[in-house]
Amino acid sequence: MHAINAEEKELIELLLEMTPKTDAGVDSLVFRAQHYEKIEVLDRLEQEGYIRKELDNYFVSLTALVQLDSKRAMDLLSHSEPIFRELKAHYRKTPRDPMQVDALSDCSGVDPVDTRIALSYMVEGPWWGGRSNSFFATPDSYIAPAESILKFESFANVIQQLRGWQTARIRDRQKAMATALRAFSPSFKEPPQLIVEPHRQKPDWFDQLPESPRDLLVEIYAALSLDLRALPAMGLRAVIDVVCMKQTGDAGSFEKKLSTLKQKGLISEVESSILSDAIDAGSASAHRGYVPGRDDLESLLDIVEHLLRAQYILPEAAKKLKLNTPQRGGKTAKET
């Protein structure tokens, strides 16, 4: 597993101590200004996922918390285990029902404020399906575990999975940088070119796509050629969003967009379910540090390419087919 060094650890512990005991973070611009001499370290911690940035606020990630020695970090982690046990038991008993945070506090024996603080960190893991936007804003805040909670024996196992994903992501980035550096050779006077190996060929209808999804796919295929996996998953999620926005407008959440596509007859129930799974995979990479396996990434790409072909290529091909097909009387639609 990847580990932080002493300098990084000191900076993260300082950030944790400055974090309010709510679900609000630390203003990232202020923190960076106060520690301007550590800007490069902060950039690295953010890139590697030890610091989360949300709405211009910094938060310490779970993968950093487990490497800290401060009392606050250890308290957060110790509160997480009984909370996780109660949520898992709740899901096994009533899997369709969310759990009120106050009830969770009572069952776990963790103070209500400490329960809310712990949950604001715990949701970084891939074990929940729904939640209140804020655990502090309303007294009836809730959390809804997902079936994936059953895969973990303890919350420590959740963090272990996050650290595994993080290590793979850091390794992929280092591999990509090493590949790029090999492109710089003193024997060439021309501007150096990035050396990549083809991973997946573009479909033969690629150039017929609209500009927006086509430009995204160019970067996705480039990332694939460097054997990166998390970035393409995030990019493919963005492609799905572009297609949905084009067909439905800003209909809200992905769930609502897919529902609108179904209502318009543009996708079937089966296709909606498949696209929902693809969106979840991309979201896991974007928000939870998930690095998909190569086979899963190939499946994700198959799904998105199928969507693009169905929405942009086949309708035009069908029009052309109709024009060339003989009608009753022997003439084609083009000739009538």
CA triple 205-208-211, angle to 5 deg: 130
Q: Are the beta carbons of 170 and 4 closer than 8 angstroms?
A: no
Cα separation values, 244 from 85, 239, 241, 298, Å: 38, 9, 5, 21
- Residue 273 phi/psi, 5° resolution? -65, -40
What gap in Å lies between CA 164 and CA 50, rounded to an integer? 13
Domain spans of the chain, in order of start: 6-65, 206-324
Residue 247: both structure tokens together: 């067909």
CATH class of the structural domain 6-65: mainly alpha
Q: Are the beta carbons of 49 and 61 closer than 8 angstroms?
A: yes
Own/partner long-range contacts of 17-23 (Cβ < 8 Å, ≥24 apart): 17/70, 17/72, 19/58, 19/59, 19/60, 21/113, 21/117, 22/116, 22/117, 22/120, 22/136, 23/116, 23/117, 23/120, 23/134, 23/135, 23/136
Alpha carbons within 13 A on the beta-carbon side of 93? 8
Hey, what amino acid is at 292?
A: P
What's the pLDDT tens digit per position in 61-101? Answer: 999 999 998 999 999 999 999 999 999 999 999 999 999 99
What gap in Å lies between CA 141 and CA 53, rounded to an integer? 23
More confident residue, 184 or 144: 144
pLDDT at 188 over 60: no
Q: Quote the percentage of the chain above a pLDDT of 90.
A: 37
What's the pLDDT tens digit per position in 1-33? Answer: 567 888 999 999 999 999 988 878 899 999 999
